[in-house]
Structure 1
Amino acid sequence: MTTAKDLFIIAMDPALERPVGQGDLSLALAGAELLDLLDAGAITVDGDLVVPGGSSVPDDRLLAAAAAGIVRQPPHERVEDWLWRRGQELAAAYQDALEEDGELRRKRSGLLPFGPKEVEPVDTPTRRRAVARREEGDPVLASLASAVGLDGERADDDEPSPGDETVTTVLATVHEAVMELEAVRQRRTIENTAFANVWRGP
């Protein structure tokens, strides 16, 4: 399993008080993929640039797709730009892949048999490993979980340190991207409210 899939699985925990935003999760998944590729030697990070490394192709098909999307020629892509580009609809791609692998199943919400469908993790060895990794305090998974709000509000000085400058750079960029997305949401809410008030009149 990959860090990205571990993150998605714990984000689908039915015990969560509020669902994780798909945009936030997509950005964090893109960051998790970078860390998985870094760990596999498929990339390096030079400052804030994603630089292709070895030629080995990851076994995981989503990670292989991520590796194939790395910009091979200079000027290389910045970590932040990778997150926004790769992160488009990435949560949906992981949901489809995990459903196909039998790691997620669909359930119906509400009392009506034709109510909206949701997904929940299946109790598999993969899910148990992901949960155990989180409970053991894996610093990378904990930081990604914090970025998408799985651990509530967390002060910067409480963030777990992964002990690697490159990993820290990627994680910090994920947090910044999620905060930027939230700022965009708030701005749109304000603009929509102002627009509605204009039409409503005095």
Structure 2
Amino acid sequence: MTTAKDLFIIATDPRPDRSVGQGDLSLALAGAELIDLLGAGAVTVEDDRIVPGEPSAPDDRLLGEAAAELSRQEPYELVEDWLWRRGRDLADAYRAALEGAGELTRKRSGLLPFGPERLEPADTPASRRAADRWDENEPVLAALASTVGIDSGRSDDESGLEDEAVTTVVAVVHDAVMELEAVRQRRTIENTAFANIWRGP
């Protein structure tokens, strides 16, 4: 399992404090992929730009797609630009992949048999490993989860991240999520103002 898949499983856990927006999660998943590529030596980060190494073919299909999408032309791509480009609809791609692999299961919420369906992590070795990683407060997973509003119990000044490139990626993910939230709030204000105009005095 990759960090991105572990993050998706943690975000899908049906707890009240884990309601995560799909846009936020997509950005964090793109960041998780980049961190795994850093860990594999497939990329480095220099001056907030993603510098690719030798072409690689990760065992994981989605991570392989991420590696194949790296820009290999100078001045190379900014981490922020990568998040927005790679992150487009990425949560949907991970949901489909994990559901297809049996890592997620659909359950009906409420007591009625025709209630709305929701996805939950299935009881599989991979899902248990993701849960163990979370319970151990693994720094990378905890930091990425924090960017989308899932509280790991760590304080902001004890992230536990020791790699500068990883720290940079997490910081850029956080900024991108904040930017997305600002866009949402602006649209809400604009829509409210527009509705007030139509309603009149």
Q: TM-score range by the shorter chain?
A: over 0.9
Q: TM-score of the superposition, structure 1-length normalised?
A: 0.94
The alignment's C-alpha RMSD in Å is 1.7
Question: Counterparts of 1:104 and 1:196 in 2: how far apart (Å)?
Answer: 40
Paired residues, what number? 201
Secondary structure of 2:105's counterpart equals strand
Give the Å deviation of 1:13: 0.5
Question: Counterparts of 1:54 and 1:136 in 2: how far apart (Å)?
Answer: 33
Equivalent residue for 2:169?
A: 170
Give the Å deviation of 1:29: 0.2
Cα deviation, 1:140-171, whole Å, max 9, x if unaligned, reads 1111010001118986x435131111111000
The letter of the residue matching 1:178 is V
Answer with 11-20 or 70-79: which moved more.
11-20
Q: Is the 8 A contact 2:137 2:152 kept in 1?
A: no
Question: Counterparts of 1:10 and 1:16 in 2: how far apart (Å)?
Answer: 13
Answer with 160-169 or 91-100: which moved more.
160-169
Query: Does 2:141 match 1:141?
Result: yes
Query: Does 2:189 match 1:182?
Result: no
- Unaligned runs of at least 5 residues, structure 1: none
Q: Is the 8 A contact 1:161 1:168 kept in 2?
A: no
Question: Counterparts of 2:35 and 2:184 in 1: how far apart (Å)?
Answer: 27
Cα deviation, 1:57-84, whole Å, max 9, x if unaligned, reads 1000000000000001112110000000
Q: Is the 8 A contact 2:12 2:18 kept in 1?
A: no
Question: Counterparts of 2:185 and 2:196 in 1: how far apart (Å)?
Answer: 17
Equivalent residue for 2:14?
A: 14
Q: TM-score of the superposition, structure 2-length normalised?
A: 0.94
Secondary structure of 1:26's counterpart equals helix
Question: Counterparts of 1:68 and 1:152 in 2: how far apart (Å)?
Answer: 32
Equivalent residue for 2:80?
A: 80
